[in-house]
Structure 1
Amino acid sequence: MRADELLQTRTVWCGDTVLLCLTGELDLATTPLVDQAVTTVLAGHPQILCLDLTGLTFCDRTGLHTLQRVSSTVHAAHTSLRLAGLHPSLHRTLHQLNATPPWPRPALLH
């Protein structure tokens, strides 16, 4: 199965904010799709990147490291990171990994 069949990314721009939705599985096979999507988004210099994980059905150790790297990359680009749809157990795991900078609390989408 191809990576783009396991994980879909969708971006929605609204002014200086971008919503990046991940749907499917986040693992070794799909990490490059997330990296590519984040690179593309940051090229547009948004002030805020909201990462919507509502549709995430699976996340392994590689996926966790990918999310840590995304956090670092986004903050290095002087962009604020918001999380939406993050399952509480995944939020606890990310927090316990001591990601730097600290993970923001999940935001609600309206």
Structure 2
Amino acid sequence: MKTLTKAEEQIMQKLWDLKRAHVKDIIAELPRPKPAYNTVSTIIRILEKKGFVGHRTEGKTYEYYPLITKKAYRKAFFSHFFKNYFSNSYRSFTSFFAKDQDLSLEELEEMQRIIQEEIEKKNNL
């Protein structure tokens, strides 16, 4: 799966939230300063070429919708990120979050709880 630029990802985030939208609807959801209509329209067309977005014609306008779910993109993005920044090492990844991110005791306990739940699920298979 192709990765998104920062601008493309910003547009996709809004489109995932909206589910279906016209360019003006996406612009309305973006923070100030608002990008130009043509800028957002161009980014949407790029996203279509990349296979992330589809459209439905409504008279002279298009209604856009995501072709890939946020969950699917997140999984692909994270796999790429994990491979490139942590060499596919869960030890490096865990160490990064536990030590380098200065997590609170509560956050570490929450991570431990989530991991323990997953261990129990796997043990019960």
- How high is the TM-score relative to the length of structure 1? 0.25
Greater helix share, 1 or 2?
Answer: 2
Query: Higher relative contact order at CA 8 Å, sep ≥6: structure 1 or structure 2?
Result: 1
Mark the structure with the bigger radius of gyration. 2
Greater strand share, 1 or 2?
Answer: 1
- How high is the TM-score relative to the length of structure 2? 0.23
